[in-house]
Amino acid sequence: MTGRTDLRRKPERAVDDRDAIHDVLDEGLMAHVGLVAGTGDQAHPVVIPMLYARDGERLILHGSPASRLLRTAKGGVDVCVTVTLLDALVLARSGLHHSMNYRSIVIMGRATEVIDHAEKVAALDRLVEHTIPGRTSQVRAAHDIEVTGTTVLTLPLAECSLKVRTGGPVDDPDDVDDPAWAGLIPIGVAVGEPIPDNAASSQTVPGHVAFWARGPGQLNGRPAPDGETT
């Protein structure tokens, strides 16, 4: 961790633990990728939601070569990639003590393009596996023209911070006898029944679809592979 991602506000919420950082990145589905567009007086921030995957100590991003964000980032511009998981609403006895329990990763750095064909194929597979574990073995391999027509970037996790809030509300001592309900409303990723397309092969739901889930099991209401409900 270096200066730019050191937490200036509420440093007690910082977690300097590679495993914890990996866990949050592996649980997340979507990153918000920021860069500076324009130059001089025209410089302004742009923040775009993107799929991502973690591959060891680097993040993988991809997109069309025509994408402004990927085109700019390829040129060696600094990016900031933020992944946020919401765990609970925190209800206190005064408005300003309301909060959220969350885990949030901020990665700053310079993304570089992956050129090697085999490395690009592996990175694109990681993107699919990140979102839907077990999926790549179910679909055809990427055609060469698809790989060529896709820009893949990697960003090292070197300059990376994790900020976490856990626990219940923290009220002013004068407020603790107020009659308002206080506590947590846990939130997570809900999963609905899979909706097959019309093909005959889609009418039987395979395990990697039926058991897809993210985060705490008690929240998503999905069956576990072993038949338990946890």
Binding mask 95-124 for its own copies (x = CB under 8 A): xx-x-x-x-x-x-x---------------x
Q: Which is nearer to its own copies, 22 or 135 (CB)?
A: 135
123-152 residues in contact with its own copies (CB under 8 A) are: 124-125, 127-128, 131-132, 135-136, 138-140, 142-143, 146, 150
Between CA 18 and CA 135 the distance in angstroms is 26
Distance set, CA 187 to CA 87, 101, 141, 211, 230 (Å): 5, 9, 36, 19, 16
Q: How remote is the C-alpha of 124 from its chain's centroid?
A: 16
Q: Which is nearer to its own copies, 8 or 228 (CB)?
A: 8
> From the CB of 173, what's the least distance to its own copies, in Å?
13
Binding mask 67-86 for its own copies (x = CB under 8 A): xx---------xxxxx-x-x
Q: Which is nearer to its own copies, 1 or 36 (CB)?
A: 36
177-206 residues in contact with its own copies (CB under 8 A) are: 177-197, 199, 201-202, 204-206
Tell me the β-bridge partners of 91.
183
20 in contact with its own copies (CB under 8 A): no
Q: Of the candidates 14, 15, 36, 122, which one interacts with its own copies according to CB under 8 A?
A: 36
Contact stretch for its own copies (CB under 8 A) within 19-27, 53-61, 63-71, 111-119: 63-71
Residue 92 parent element (H or E): none
224 in contact with its own copies (CB under 8 A): no
Distance set, CA 212 to CA 30, 133, 209 (Å): 16, 8, 5
91 in contact with its own copies (CB under 8 A): yes
DSSP annotation of 9 reads: S
Query: Hey, what are 140's tokens?
Result: 């055809």
> From the CB of 197, what's the least distance to its own copies, in Å?
5
Residue 167 parent element (H or E): none
Burial track 56-81 (b if 16+ CB lie within 10 A, e otherwise):
eebbbbbbeeebebbebbeeeeebbb
> From the CB of 145, what's the least distance to its own copies, in Å?
10
Between CA 90 and CA 77 the distance in angstroms is 37
52 in contact with its own copies (CB under 8 A): no
